[in-house]
Structure 1
């Protein structure tokens, strides 16, 4: 990560350079011209993590440059983070530094915010936390109207709740999500909303067919897309994400989605009738009429079996966080499918990382 100050005036040029680099990687596949979805040039990241560096009775936020990993870089202003985080950082630091019970051996502070203004702060210590710490932390939480979690080795104290509530605005509607501490969420909320809107537009309305979603997380795409299909069959391996997804389905009155806690590889095997699983005992897989599949895999992309499996469906929406593994997978998928749309979503401004969206339909 670079620690040089952000220059919003440079962002359009940097984005163009990144788009050109990513687009060039796919030239051999002759994809359609990419639709570009930029980020806000400042205050775009909803999460931030800082080490705490103590100097006598005072401390400051710090990060470490990989080029000099033992030298703390003092962070007094962090415009990468959401405005909610930036506004809280200094008043929170002062409040914590005023009480030894809150600042002694404080090691790290993690912020998790939302577009809707909710905030969760995790205070991580190199010491055991006690009742006195909890009373003091509760006062700080009340003062700033935030959620606080205290952590130390083998200890987690949740003062009220260990999640934030997001209200994600997509196409004139707000979708509610519990986003848990430690669970995966999209870091750039505004760009995430653009990604969801793009996927909705690609899918259209399908009242007689079903959607299969692999790597569904906390239901980020599942919930907005559920109304586009008769039913949704979704899978996710993370226990935290599955818990959040079930809660999020209930909050958004989504009743036509089934969430399975199992790997995409296992669900693929079950749908191919290669193996049976106890957790599928009450799920009638044969009753699904799946014609669309949405995949949002980790950086490793799709495994060979899943890639071969999804090639059997009429339509594929592929969300990727790694152009290299996306290119590898598209080399195979474009043998059976045609790429109709290609989009680039700049989740991580000022870095080389780029999120991609590809919409494919079965060749005639």
Structure 2
């Protein structure tokens, strides 16, 4: 007689424990102690007693999420967004803005103090509006065959599942108001099953929309899109693939950095929080104390967010960026603003720079604004240039702390630290540090 083996599905039960949270980290996670190690709890505030489901248990730390709040903190606030419990875009809407800023500033000071070997304090915090600040959003699109409906929204945290949204209170009001009518429009297109994503950007001369579509659009669909763009007074771009951008109507977008107008492509990187960006640029220029005889090097310059305003004050400014399209756009904007003393070069700054035409020039001041990976590839070269002042703009405190060590060991001292509240209600920590040569 034949015997058949039926494998039973393995069932793992996640451990649930009760803890009292005593701190908040930079990413908005509550911090407790369990089994002699740190336990990071998503959704918990200091002083709260919570039931936690453990999701990750390592030798030195554990992670978990709140299943029940047994004793709530008086500081806890009601999230403004109805999608907050599922959407992965924000992590700290239950945390008061002041506590968000305080925890990020404390984490930044701790990391820099650890690397420098002496206490480091955050001098101040640059912030703006906590709501309605984001001028750019990319919304995923997914057609559900079973329900014959189009999902439009953001991904769940640590998941590929899409959360359909009807509003996003951290978006600029002009963009937030477009979400529901845009969803209705896209749901009615013949190409509804073959749409990739949609991008919304608020430029200083009005909103724009970029639609990524996987198949050619019919004349009827194009007409609907154009009618929508005219009704809502926005520039319309179509993206049939990752390299092509077709502008159907509207102006090329413009943003400002200081007093200068910068044109950009909808695919170019721009700072999404304009209010904080304007303050950040002004602070960086003030720290550098630019004089008519200064020669400044701006590394990871993008399309000239810092470089171009510096050109109004210094004798000569050189910007270096790895993305060729941004270099071309920066050079175009320099010419547009009649800045003949500013030059741009394209180079991957993770690679050796010593043979570059700009590398040996006598710069007396340096600004760098690297991506999350930091600037390990150019720190030693900055030391060789021996500038009087260095401003480091960071979106990752870990790599900032690492790169700071190179300057501190080479005779530089840390003068000022500012925390940039660029992304309220999220776990992103941005900062700016001033170093001077002893």
TM-score category (smaller protein): 0.7 to 0.9
What's the TM-score, normalizing by structure 2?
0.71
Tell me, in whole angstroms, the C-alpha distance in 2 between the residues paired with 1:162 and 1:110.
Answer: 16
Whether the 8 Å contact between 1:63 and 1:73 is mirrored in structure 2 is yes
Matched residue, 1:239: 324
Matched residue, 2:256: 167
What's the TM-score, normalizing by structure 1?
0.85
CA change 1:7–1:309 in 2 (3 A) is: closer
Tell me, in whole angstroms, the C-alpha distance in 2 between the residues paired with 1:47 and 1:187.
Answer: 6
Kindly indicate whether residue 376 of structure 2 is the aligned counterpart of residue 303 of structure 1: yes
Could you report, residue by residue, the CA deviation over 1:271-291 in whole angstroms, capped at 9, with x for unpaired residues? Answer: xxxxxx6xx4xx7x77x5420
Among 300, 309, 330, the alignment partner of 2:404 is: 330
Whether the 8 Å contact between 1:209 and 1:230 is mirrored in structure 2 is yes
Matched residue, 1:82: 172
Tell me, in whole angstroms, the C-alpha distance in 1 between the residues paired with 2:327 and 2:89.
Answer: 35
Tell me, in whole angstroms, the C-alpha distance in 2 between the residues paired with 1:75 and 1:92.
Answer: 12
Aligned residues: 343
Matched residue, 1:110: 199
> Displacement of 1:326 after TM fit?
0.7
Could you report, residue by residue, the CA deviation over 1:295-338 in whole angstroms, capped at 9, with x for unpaired residues? Answer: 1111111124x211212222111111111111011112012211
Tell me, in whole angstroms, the C-alpha distance in 2 between the residues paired with 1:3 and 1:233.
Answer: 36
Among 223, 235, 245, the alignment partner of 1:135 is: 223
Among 307, 324, 343, the alignment partner of 1:258 is: 343
> Displacement of 1:5 after TM fit?
9.1
Whether the 8 Å contact between 2:238 and 2:247 is mirrored in structure 1 is yes
Kindly indicate whether residue 430 of structure 2 is the aligned counterpart of residue 358 of structure 1: no
Tell me, in whole angstroms, the C-alpha distance in 2 between the residues paired with 1:26 and 1:243.
Answer: 35
> Which sits farther off after the overlay, 178-187 or 152-161?
152-161
Tell me, in whole angstroms, the C-alpha distance in 1 between the residues paired with 2:111 and 2:403.
Answer: 13
Kindly indicate whether residue 153 of structure 2 is the aligned counterpart of residue 62 of structure 1: yes
CA change 1:81–1:117 in 2 (3 A) is: farther
> Displacement of 1:266 after TM fit?
6.2
Q: Which of the two has higher C-alpha Rg?
A: 2
Matched residue, 1:273: none
> Displacement of 1:7 after TM fit?
4.5
Tell me, in whole angstroms, the C-alpha distance in 2 between the residues paired with 1:228 and 1:267.
Answer: 30
Gaps of 5+ in 1: 271-276
Matched residue, 1:151: 239
Tell me, in whole angstroms, the C-alpha distance in 2 between the residues paired with 1:177 and 1:292.
Answer: 24
Tell me, in whole angstroms, the C-alpha distance in 1 between the residues paired with 2:249 and 2:322.
Answer: 27
Matched residue, 1:42: 131
What RMSD, in angstroms, separates the aligned Cα atoms of the two structures?
Answer: 2.6
Among 314, 317, 333, the alignment partner of 2:388 is: 314
> Displacement of 1:244 after TM fit?
1.6
Whether the 8 Å contact between 1:46 and 1:189 is mirrored in structure 2 is yes
Higher RCO (CA 8 Å, separation ≥ 6 residues) = 1
Whether the 8 Å contact between 2:91 and 2:427 is mirrored in structure 1 is no
> Which sits farther off after the overlay, 250-259 or 314-323?
250-259
Tell me, in whole angstroms, the C-alpha distance in 2 between the residues paired with 1:204 and 1:4.
Answer: 36
Tell me, in whole angstroms, the C-alpha distance in 1 between the residues paired with 2:159 and 2:224.
Answer: 36
Tell me, in whole angstroms, the C-alpha distance in 2 between the residues paired with 1:265 and 1:74.
Answer: 38
